[in-house]
Amino acid sequence: MSVTPESPSQQPNALSRRTVLQRAAVAGLVATPAVGFLAACADSGSDDETSTPNSGATSAANPLGAPEDQPINVVIFNGGYGDKYATDVHEPMYKKAHPKSEVKHQSSQAISTLVQPLIAGGNAPEFVNNSGEKSLDFGALVADGQLQDLTALFDAPSVDDPSKKVRDTLVPGTVDTGSFNGKPYVLYYVSTVFGIWYSGKLFTDNGWAPAKTWSEFTALCDKIKAKGIAPYAYAGANAAYYQWNIILTSAAKIGGADILKNIDNLEDGAWKVDAVKQAAEAWAEIGAKYNLQGAEGLKHTDVQLKQNQYQLAMYPSGDWIENEQKKDTPEGFKYQMLTTPSITGSDKLKSTALRATAGEGYMVLAKSKNPKGGMEYMRQMLSKAGGKGFTEVVKAPTVVLGSTDGLTFTPGTQSSQDALKAAGSEVFNLFFDGWYKDLDKEARTATNELMFGRIKADAFVERIQKKADEIKKDSSITKFKR
């Protein structure tokens, strides 16, 4: 995307001075429009492609009525989970159930780069794993009517037990997590638990115990610091949302999970309530006193590596971290998860409460040629065998109930699954980052400002509230409620 003109630099010595000047001037003129051109080139596709969804006969094996002879295009994000689970597990399952329907597989690390032009050009793929840094904005896709309403899928009989609907075979909350204004558009497949991660080995070797209350937590940090290890850090350069997630989790524990609901719904003053302020204050102190040197300038991979090298004790993350760090984790490291400690003595939720969600979004594009085929692919994914196969390949539990029976987890996943069980009904989630990317960005920036000591808690909530208010007023942004 650089608009640095390259042409004159290639044969510099061969040119006379005059031609160099001329070429430089021409290159200069050509360089200017390059950025504008970039914005424009996406604008050439056909705008009003309306393909009527194909249908086939419904049967017990094909309750959604997907056309048996139509192919489906599957696009998988080739990130932390790779694409092996699709090529080795889900796609063969689909093909076995529907031998005449061809599966065309593609994978990419930049989903929007691959898929956006396909959509704009009227060649939308049926099934997309929309994930990663370059994912498409789900909110924008929904607002634009690009996503297939998945109600039919969730109401269809499940693969394993036709007397049960698909929605009843999933972890409660799965359908809601992928719903926009009450309608399910996205299937979130991987059960994800958030918390603070540490090395079981490091803690056992030093006789440290995971903290439940705030005073225990700061005492623990002091002990770790005395050992010459950085107690707590996140990566400021690109992963500040790991930390706002922790701050908001603490806020929800102080004031109840409704605090997060109000934030998601852009209620007036939702960020400025005391609970958020208190949580921000407490964590700002951790940032000021117990940080890893230079953490603000480090990327998540750098910081996670520091933890693997035992130079950092605690790191906020989701439970994908164990799989992500597989290659760098030393023998016996033993990832363990700690839920955020209670900040006040009068927290509304227990210290075992946690944020859990279904992660890794999958969608069917409504304007693709065979959306029913896409949904049928999802139905296969949501079978017990589909869930189990996924977990076997990527070591992460799915939202399919009972699909992990008989599987033994790695220590980290085991610990987060135990934490999830311990939390009982005190499990909450938040959505604003997926709905309003702008608000996520502001929260990240403000979090860095707070955690690295440039602003105080008051200014932190003030700042994000201001952005939330702006978004609320902005008629060009589609709003969501839960």
Site residues (CB under 8 A) for other proteins? 1-4, 8-9, 12-13, 15-17, 20-21, 24-25, 27-33, 35-44, 47-48, 112, 116, 119-120, 134, 136-137, 140-141, 143-146, 236-238, 240, 293-294, 296-299, 302, 437-438, 441, 444-445, 448-449, 452, 454, 474, 476
Closest distance to other proteins from the beta carbon of 249 (Å)? 21
CA distance 340 to 357: 16
Closest distance to other proteins from the beta carbon of 152 (Å)? 22
Closest distance to other proteins from the beta carbon of 32 (Å)? 4
Closest distance to other proteins from the beta carbon of 266 (Å)? 16
Closest distance to other proteins from the beta carbon of 425 (Å)? 35
Between 416 and 448, whose beta carbon lies closer to other proteins?
448
Between 34 and 407, whose beta carbon lies closer to other proteins?
34
Cβ proximity of 379 and 159 under 8 Å: yes
Closest CA to 124 of 106, 102, 97: 106
Q: 427-428 and 230-232 as β-strands: parallel, antiparallel, unpaired?
A: unpaired
CA distance 296 to 66: 50
- Give the DSSP H or E segment for 214: helix 214-226
Residue 470: CA atoms inside 13 Å, Cβ hemisphere, count? 11
Closest CA to 145 of 39, 49, 266: 49
Closest distance to other proteins from the beta carbon of 465 (Å)? 15
Give the total residue count for the chain: 482
Closest distance to other proteins from the beta carbon of 122 (Å)? 10
Between 23 and 201, whose beta carbon lies closer to other proteins?
23
Between 161 and 458, whose beta carbon lies closer to other proteins?
458
Between 40 and 407, whose beta carbon lies closer to other proteins?
40
CA distance 362 to 189: 7
Burial class (CB in 10 A: 0-12, 13-18, 19+), 369: buried
CA distance 197 to 1: 37
Closest distance to other proteins from the beta carbon of 237 (Å)? 5
Between 2 and 163, whose beta carbon lies closer to other proteins?
2
Between 237 and 385, whose beta carbon lies closer to other proteins?
237
List the Cα angle 359/364/367 in 5-degree steps: 150
Between 8 and 373, whose beta carbon lies closer to other proteins?
8
**DSSP-derived secondary structure for 110-159:** -HHHHHHHHHHTT---SEEE--STT---HHHHHHTT-BPPTHHHHHSBPS
Closest distance to other proteins from the beta carbon of 46 (Å)? 10
Q: How many CB atoms lie within 10 A of CB 278?
A: 18
- Give the DSSP H or E segment for 336: strand 335-338
Cβ proximity of 105 and 91 under 8 Å: yes
Between 240 and 254, whose beta carbon lies closer to other proteins?
240
